[in-house]
Amino acid sequence: LADYKGKYLVLYFYPLDFTFVCPTEIIAFSDRIQEFREINCEVVGVSTDSHFSHLAWINMPRKQGGLGGLKYPLAADFNKQIARDYGVLLEEAGIALRGLFIIDPE
């Protein structure tokens, strides 16, 4: 989070890559990222999937269920600590619930 000090940050969690509901919101953030940046705000998505899973999903075309390129980072919370810290981890399933946090510049 230190990389985003001085900016607002939209930090959102989603359960898994390659799911049928999540891409809509994830793509919407990407398509409108410039509007966020104009108001000094960055966006970061987080799931418990690996970095490699994120890359595969980002590189898959939208028409095939992928993200088709993304204009902001997805964080791989493979050890589940970030989701746990934000209270969105389903421990038994090992995945994050959907959740969104707005973090102020300080």
Residues annotated as catalytic are 22
CB proximity list for 16: less than 8 A, separation 6 or greater: 22, 47, 48, 49, 95
**Cβ-contact 13, 97 below 8 angstroms:** yes
Q: Which residue has the tokens 């799931």?
A: 47
What is the separation of C-alpha 26 from the centre of its chain, rounded to a whole number of angstroms?
7
